């Protein structure tokens, strides 16, 4: 499994992804799921991938190869993020056409998903979710974020807290709590966590870092969150019907 | 979908379940998932069901019919909760034998799960999870609770907070938060919430109530929890690397 989040906020974009892949519980490896295609002053494009690793990796390899060697539209020449999402979807279709029938033959899941976000000069920052089939949707103020992979454990905190007005700092904290909740409940999501922040109109990356499992701040988030939830639970009023009977 | 929780705590047992069933999003109905089989001073047995409604309902109908008309061991004559869990598993096997092939023929999921807990005079309180196949497992101090149905959204709060030493009051609050998180994120889980508390060795029900969507306490839990999480997030320290660049 995998867990990735992309948020499109007024202040900018936030991306976070875990680094665990597994083919069964006895074949666990470490693979980052974040890729960046950037030209300072012109564009910052970030992809987060979930699903079959060969599928998503080769989709990116194809995109990268074409960007460096092809003469058609590439991630570095696309004029809009819409075009970028189309390129990702098209590349995934190509790879799936090649591999999916063979995977299905042995009952292997041949699906993959991308969160694709960024800003190209002349546009506002945009965020897309590209499905396995190559089609895609774009975030809007009602739904300012996308998740892929093991999304459920970490969704409540995002649903409760994130709006387009959420600051990048708050959103970063919220994302780390969401990752902590997910990693606690699902072994197939694991550190390190890759984090990338992009400030609107900067056209260069604000922050890119990797938080290992023993990262001091991650530990702080964990213990602070546990303590806070315990306090929140303790401070919940006790209704009359709950007091001990007899 | 459905969401049910059963907890086995030092102080007693706690059960909670939602009341929504759906066959597609356009066929949503209200069906409680909690059933009680109790004889004051002798036994309190509670079942929570998830999965195919005809399967779980008819399993209970069969058990109830046999308890009232049969001459074999029934829910009212079983000498242990282990025997009760076996009876539930056997009844489910019987109903599945009758119906499952027909359901599978039209691609309908023929699975169901029960959380079965309670206390029979002479035993301690016990809690079981009965699988679709009729086999079952019992809770222990390492894992003092079971969930069925849409379990993921509401699992982090339970994972963080519940131990056997958790009081029934705390656990009740925790369960309501878990339900609130789940109902926010999944439309197929819905109110009213059925709640049942059983105090160890009481051999009668401590509290059984139904919380409708507009229940004042449920509203209080919702707003208190939202406010608390917001405060918890706001009070998270901001590390040096997070302060705005430039």
Report ipTM (2 d.p.): 0.83
Tell me the nearest-neighbour CA distance from B61 into chain A, angstroms. 31
> Mean of the pLDDT values across residues A117-136?
97
CA distance B112 to B47: 12
Q: Could A172 and B242 be called an inter-chain contact, meaning their C-beta atoms sit closer than 8 Å?
A: yes
The pLDDT value given to residue B187: 81
Residue A220 to residue B237, Cβ atoms within 8 A? yes
Taking CA atoms, what residue in B is nearest to A232? B228
Residues of A in contact with B206 (CB under 8 A): 245
In angstroms, the CA A28 to CA A189 distance is 10
Residues from chain A that touch B184, judged by Cβ atoms under 8 A, are 156, 159-160
Q: Is A97 on the interface with B (CB under 8 A)?
A: no
Contacts of B159 in chain A (CB under 8 A): 184-185
Residue B214: the pLDDT is 92
Residue A246 confidence (pLDDT): 44
The pLDDT of residue B244 is 59
Q: What is the model's pLDDT at position A27?
A: 75
Give the number of A-B residue pairs with CB atoms closer than 8 Å.
109
pLDDT of residue B139: 96
Chain A segment 165-224 residues within 8 A of B by beta carbon are 169-170, 172-174, 177, 181-182, 184-185, 199, 206-207, 209, 217, 220-221, 224
Q: Which residues of B touch A194 (CB under 8 A)?
A: none
Reduced to 3 states (helix: H, G, I; strand: E, B; else coil), residue A191 is coil
User: Looking at the partner chain, which of A174, A231, A235 has a beta carbon nearest the beta carbon of B233?
Assistant: A174
Q: State the pLDDT at residue B246.
A: 44
The C-alpha atoms of residue B81 and residue B85 are separated, in whole angstroms, by 6
Q: Are strands B145-149 and B136-138 parallel, antiparallel or unpaired?
A: unpaired
The phi, psi pair for A82, rounded to 5°, reads: -60, -45
pLDDT, tens only, A142-199 = 999 999 998 988 998 999 899 999 999 999 999 999 999 898 888 888 889 999 999 9
Closest Cα to residue B153, out of A2, A8, A160? A160
Residue of B9, B177, B236 to mutate, interface with A, max A Cβ within 10 Å: B236
Q: Does domain A3-235 have CATH number 3.60.20.10?
A: yes
**Per-residue model confidence as pLDDT tens digits over A11-70:** 999 999 998 887 776 777 888 899 999 999 999 999 999 999 999 999 999 999 999 897
Interstrand relation of A34-39 and B145-149 (parallel, antiparallel or unpaired): unpaired
- In this prediction, what percent of chain A has a pLDDT beyond 70? 98
Question: Which of B10, B19, B8, B13 is CA-nearest to residue B182?
Answer: B19
What fold is seen in the domain B3-236? 3.60.20
Q: Return d(Cα B49, Cα B6) in angstroms, integer.
A: 11
Taking CA atoms, what residue in A is nearest to B150?
A: A152
Domain spans of chain A?
3-235
| pLDDT number for residue A38 | 95
Query: Which residues on chain A are in Cβ contact (under 8 Å) with B238?
Result: 169, 173
Smallest Cα–Cα separation from A179: which of A202, A210, A134, A133?
A210
How would residue A244 be classed by pLDDT, with cut points 50, 70 and 90?
low
- List of chain B residues with pLDDT < 50: 246
Put simply, the answer to whether A217 touches B239 (Cβ < 8 Å) is yes
Predicted local confidence at residue A190, as pLDDT: 85
């Amino acid at each position: 499994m995998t867990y990735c989040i992309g948020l499109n906020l007024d202040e900018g974009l936030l991306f976070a992804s875990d680094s665990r892949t597994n083919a069964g519980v006895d074949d666990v490896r470490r693979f980052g799921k974040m890729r960046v295609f950037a030209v300072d002053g012109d564009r910052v494009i970030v992809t987060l991938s979930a699903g079959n690793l060969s599928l998503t990796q080769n989709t990116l390899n194809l995109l990268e190869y074409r960007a460096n060697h092809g003469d058609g539209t590439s991630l570095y020449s696309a004029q809009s993020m819409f075009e970028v999402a189309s390129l990702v979807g098209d590349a995934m279709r190509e790879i799936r056409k090649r591999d999916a029938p063979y995977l299905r033959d042995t009952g292997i899941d041949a699906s993959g998903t991308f969160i694709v976000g960024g800003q190209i000069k002349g546009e506002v920052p945009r965020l897309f979710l590209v499905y396995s089939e190559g089609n895609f949707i774009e975030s809007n103020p009602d739904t300012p974020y996308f998740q892929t992979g093991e999304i459920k454990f970490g969704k409540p905190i995002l649903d409760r807290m994130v709006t387009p007005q959420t600051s990048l700092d708050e959103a970063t904290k919220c994302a780390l709590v969401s990752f902590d909740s997910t990693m606690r409940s699902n072994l197939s999501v694991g550190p390190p966590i890759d984090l990338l922040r992009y400030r609107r109109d900067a056209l260069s990356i604000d922050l890119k870092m990797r938080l290992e499992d023993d990262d001091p701040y991650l530990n702080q988030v964990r213990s602070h969150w546990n303590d806070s939830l315990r306090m929140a639970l303790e401070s919940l009023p006790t209704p009359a019907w709950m007091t001990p009977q007899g």
